[in-house]
Every structure is written in C-alpha cells, then in structure tokens.
Amino acid sequence: MNQFSMDRRKFIQSSALSALSIKPALKSLQNASLRDEYVKILNPLGRVPVSMIIDDSTSLVNLAYYGIPQFAKVFPKNYLQDWRKLPREIPDSFVVEFIEWCDAHGVKGKYSMVPYPACTGWLHRFIPGWSEEELRKSLDLVRNEVTRNWDIHPEMISHTRVINVNTGLPFGEATPRFMENWEWSQDKSADELTEYLAFALNILKEAGFSCDGVTTPGGFGSRNMSNLATATMEAVNETYSTGEFLEEKGANRYLPGFAKWRLCTGGKLVFVTSGQ
C-alpha cells in the first residue's frame, strides 16, 4: 500500500473523530433553541422520517433454515430452535406481496442481499437446490422491483462462517473466532476489512446491484468501528469507483439512529447499518 493510501486513511479517521467531537456542542445548541419560543425545529420536509431495514434477506434462501445449525454448532446452548421445521426457501411470491404492500404505503428502506447465504451458493453464479433460471428470476425481481425504493447492501459474505477471500471457502474452524457475527472482525486492520467487504460487494456487483454501503451481521466490527468505517469507504469506492457512498435520495431513507457509524466526508454520509 502506498503512502498516499495511508495518509488518506488517517485523514478519513481523524475527520470522523473530529465530526464526533462536535456532537455535544450541537446538542447544546439544539437544547438552547428549544427554549426560544420563536424557534421551531422541523423534520425534513415537515414529516417524520421512518425507514424499514430488512436484514438476513437474499434471493430464495431462507437464511434461518441454513444458518441456525451453523450457529448452533458454535453456541449449542443458545440455538435450540428446530430449524428443520422452517421452510428452506423464501419464495419470490412473498417478496412480491411484501414489496407491493410497501409501495402502496410509501415504505422505503434498506434491503440486504447476502452474497453467499449461509455458505449455500453464490448469487452471481448458482445456488444448489434451485435452477439457474429460478435464481435469475429472483435476482431480476430484486433488481427491477425492490431497488426502486430500497438500497441494497451485502450483509457481509455468508452471515455465518468467515470466508477465506483467497480461496472462497469457509475457514475450517467453527468457533466464534471464525464466525462473521462474532470475533473475527474485532482485531482486523482497515486493509483486512476492506478486502473482506470488497469481496462481498463485488459479488453483488457481478449480480447486477449497486451498493451504497454495507450491513454488519450481528456484532461484526462492533469493537473496531474506526477501521470498519474506513474499510466501508474504501471498499465501496474501490468496487464502484464512485467517490461517494450515499446519494441524496438514499440518505433520506434512513434514520440516523439506525446507523452504527456515520462518517461525514465531502458532504456525503457513509452508512454502516447493523443487522442481527
């Protein structure tokens, strides 16, 4: 990595921390304004901004059916659900019904597309158990209907096991250390996280999706937020070469409280939303 990249990342991190340092002053100013009878704080467009965040979603695969046994292997006392009774598929007919309801009620938000859902198969290639035609139609549905009012995010790569980005295979050790939701991401550098996030984003790019950010499964990077914020910026910029993250229309979909980290740079907001 060249010196320019290092300097750029240090600048991004310091800018984010500086932005956070002014938060108390802004809050104090807001409180003072509330005491002024001539000042009224209005919501954007005079409306209450509410957005829906759909996590653990993808094409066809019911992540619960395939993911719970993987979580149970790591935490056998915590995952006692009988996953065999769950449907293995989330049918496209359900997605159509849901999106039609959202359209009728003006509901917009963020919609996850897990690229390698629970290690079953790849959205940009094939998923065993479904034909290539079924996968194509399911992806077309999301591209043509869902993306009209929803931002698409990867929720890391598999949402279960950590993937070796050099081989495309899960690491062999089924422990918290090698599960996306838990420990692997907590001590990784910005470069390592960038590589991992870019791997996920590139799968969705090949599947025909443009992403403005990422969704973190569970506690991914929760104790490593500075590197995660930097990696999100780097990975999205490297994958899509946009130089920005959230278009204005996308930013209006979100409530700030849903973002784990917001990094202001060049007038744009970087969103790293937290899934479960």
- Reading the chain (276 residues) residue by residue, the pLDDT tens digits are 444 444 555 545 555 444 444 455 555 555 554 556 677 778 878 877 778 999 999 999 999 999 999 999 999 999 999 999 999 999 999 999 999 999 999 899 999 999 999 999 999 999 999 999 999 999 999 999 999 999 999 999 999 999 999 999 999 999 999 999 999 999 999 999 999 999 999 999 999 999 989 999 999 999 999 999 999 999 999 999 864 443 333 333 333 333 444 443 333 444 555 555
The answer to whether the beta carbons of residues 260 and 216 sit under 8 Å apart is yes
The rounded distance, in Å, linking the Cα atoms of 105 and 52 is: 12
- What pLDDT was estimated at residue 248? 32
If residue 17 lies in a helix (H) or strand (E), which one and from where to where?
helix 3-21
Taking the C-alpha atoms of residue 137 and residue 118, their distance in angstroms, rounded to an integer, is: 21
pLDDT of residue 268: 42
CA distance 76 to 233: 36
- Can you tell me which residue has the tokens 């550098």? 189
Q: Which of 236, 259, 227 is nearest to 12 (CA)?
A: 227
Question: Which strand (E) or helix (H) includes residue 73?
Answer: helix 63-74
Of 69, 51, 97, the residue nearest 257 (C-alpha)? 51
Q: Look at residue 37 in the predicted model and tell me its pLDDT.
A: 66
As given in the structure block, the two tokens for residue 220 are 């991914």
pLDDT at 27: 56
What confidence score (pLDDT) does residue 62 get? Answer: 98
